[in-house]
Chain A
Amino acid sequence: MVSARASTLERGRAPAAPAPAKGSYGERPGVAYLFLSPWVAGAVLLTLGPMLASLYLSFTDYDLFTSPKFVGFANYARLFGEDAHFLSAVWATVKYVLLSVPVQLVAALAVALLLNRASRAQGVYRSAFYAPSLLGASVAVALVWRALFSTDGAADQVLSLFGVRTGGWVTDPGLALLVLVLLGIWQFGAPMVIFLAGLKQIPPELYDAAAVDGAGWWRQLRSITVPMLSPVILFNLVLDTIRAFQVFNAAFIVSNGTGGPGDSTLFYTLYLWQKGFVDFKMGYASAMAWLLLLGIALVTTLIFRSARSWVHYGGDER
């Protein structure tokens, strides 16, 4: 048994037989890299290399078919100086993030609180609320949303019962973004499941003690639940924000790839796709990609900075 010898060697005892030759599998670094080799290949060839390449391409004119031409900061200057669509895209995306993320998290927490109850039905309910998170990213559901909010679609029919006439949300520059926000909020199941798991880790004694002291439901929520849950809130907030910045499918389907009406649903990634894969301005699109990375990094940093003042780590958390 070759490996037996290797592990004996490691323990510092004299080997019973001559030291193992090639092909032995002790706790040797080589074995670890054998396990890691697919990951290392991917990390170098498909992640690190392409990251650096796209950083370089962002300073070039590149159309995929001719070799890239170095242009310095021209792409970046054009993005901020001349490209009105780019600024619309940033604005539409920021609005989407600011509207969908907070509401989604509040909905997730509210439903988690509602479900956090000793009942045999809890598991079933939890799964049912989680289902939209799995379906919501699909083209099929985006098509449903488009139909629901089309002119004379079901949403219009319901609102007309209350005397409100909107006449086609999807084609209204003021309402089209709202359709996408609603679709985003609808997928609150994933953070809800995480909240629910977090709620179960709060010791019930805390609530008993608070109740003895006469704290009501709202006071308990503010003083026990939210502080105890704050690391989980931070986790969901960061994850959801990063995800929301990159939403593509819904905007593509609802606007049929245009980002219309009037750039109102021109999400950042949609505009990046248009530039890179419709206009073949791939240097320009690379510059946009790096700005997206920087923007996400900046926002994430700000969230973590702010977390110092509102996230409480209890004794046994992490």
Chain B
Amino acid sequence: MIRRVVWHVVVLAVLAVMLYPILWLVAGSFKPGASIASSVGLWAGSLTLDNYASVLGPAEIPVWRYFVNSTIVAGGAVIGNVVTCSLAAYAFARLRFRLRAPLFGFMLATIMLPQHVVLIPQYTIFQRLGMVDSFWPLVLPKFLATDAFFVFLMVQFIRQLPRDLDEAARIDGCGPIRIFAHITLPLIKPAMITTAIFTFIWTWNDFFTQLIYLSSPDKLTLPLALRMFVDLQESASSFGPMFALSVLSLLPILLFFAAFQRFLVQGLATSGLKG
């Protein structure tokens, strides 16, 4: 009994240290005045909504614009990944074709490929297509299943499903397309949810690709909008609004995480161990 209490106390103490930066951010967004960065504590004696008011207030580009842009990019990436990665994974996991082994090997190899190796030719392609400074370069690749990690995740998931149902359907006269639509698809929902959530969070957080492709003020996403605060940061008065916008930008991630953390943690554990 005592051991258990000690365990909880120790875990909670470590957790408190771990989560302090996040709590400090949230607390800071409600702190008044200029002393936000230098105050260690989480409670400044009074609460204010001024920081949020100043962020959400009228501006040349209203804040909701950045949210809409980030949502378009992340939403497009989610749809693309879920659809095309599950199609490719089904072919790799269940169908026979001559080039299966070499193509699967290539797919696995690209999981580890640093994106920088394809960056400049890809940029050239999108520049020639007139797509730079639009959302296309951020969304289109996801509709071509370029996130090999998720193809692999779904292959692993499909492989562990029993084949009996497929066989039964085949004997009843179903082809691969109907087997996929009526049997595999309903069964891989957990893997699709994992893919969707990870894609959403990673795209929402992505900064590098968005920095490279987006430049017009009205096309900026949240990470790019937040980055503008770095230039202002020498003036202490910008900390409050910066913290407020940071909290707002992390909110969707936290909500998705709270709702789906079971899928994320399980997806991570299975992709890691059964590889």
Contact = CB atoms under 8 A, between A and B. Distances in A.
Indicate, yes or no, whether A interacts with B: yes
Given A197-B273, A252-B207, A282-B120, A111 B14 contact: yes
B116 A138 contact: no
Given A41-B144, A140-B246, A248 B25 contact: no
A40 B141 CA distance: 12
B186 interface: no
Contact of A232 (B85, B103, B247, B272): B272
Given A51-B117, A144-B21, A46 B141 contact: yes
B25 A157 contact: no
Interface string B163-207: 000000011111111101000000000000000000001101101
Nearest to A31: B176
A132 B177 contact: no
Contact of B84 (A25, A38, A47, A144): A38
Contact of A242 (B112, B122, B204, B205): B112
A24 B229 CA distance: 59
A253 B227 contact: yes
A102 interface: no
Interface string A191-210: 00110111001000000000
B91 A35 contact: yes
B77 interface: no
Contacts of A2: 175
A26 B39 CA distance: 68
A130 B264 contact: yes
Contact of A276 (B28, B119, B249, B253): B119
A25 B107 CA distance: 25
A311 B151 CA distance: 27
Contacts of A248: 207-208
Given A7-B173, A152-B37, A39 B15 contact: no
Contacts of B170: 7
Contact of B121 (A49, A197, A288): A49
B120 A286 contact: yes
Contacts of A27: 95-96, 176
B97 A33 contact: yes
Interface in B217-242: 222-223, 226-227, 229-231, 233, 239, 242
B173 A4 contact: yes
A300 B170 CA distance: 43
Contact of A140 (B25, B84, B91, B171): B25
Nearest to A26: B175
A285 B14 contact: no
B54 interface: no
B180 to A, nearest CB: 7
B115 to A, nearest CB: 8
A276 B250 CA distance: 30
A134 B116 contact: no
B21 A145 contact: yes
A210 B161 CA distance: 37
A29 B83 CA distance: 20
Given A43-B146, A129-B15, A144-B22, 10 more contacts: A7-B175, A35-B95, A39-B91, A46-B122, A50-B120, A54-B119, A111-B14, A135-B253, A141-B25, A246-B114
23 contacts: A2-B175, A3-B175, A4-B173, A25-B178, A31-B175, A32-B95, A35-B87, A39-B144, A43-B103, A43-B106, A50-B125, A53-B124, A54-B118, A125-B15, A134-B264, A135-B205, A139-B205, A140-B245, A140-B250, A147-B239, A245-B114, A249-B223, A253-B230
What are the 4 tightest A-B residue pairs by CB atom distance, in nearest-first order?
Answer: A42-B144, A4-B173, A25-B175, A3-B175
Interface of A: 1-4, 6-7, 24-27, 29, 31-36, 38-43, 45-51, 53-54, 57, 62, 64, 111, 114-115, 117, 119, 121, 123, 125-132, 134-135, 137-141, 143-148, 150, 152-154, 156-158, 186, 190, 193-194, 196-198, 201, 232, 235-236, 242, 245-246, 248-249, 252-253, 256, 269, 272-273, 276-277, 282, 285-286, 288-290, 292-293, 296, 300
Interface of B: 4, 7-8, 10-11, 14-15, 18-19, 21-22, 24-25, 28, 36-40, 83-85, 87-88, 90-92, 95-98, 100, 103, 106-107, 110, 112-125, 127, 141, 143-146, 151, 170-178, 180, 201-202, 204-205, 207-208, 211-212, 222-223, 226-227, 229-231, 233, 239, 242-243, 245-247, 249-250, 253-254, 257, 261, 264-265, 268-270, 272-273, 275
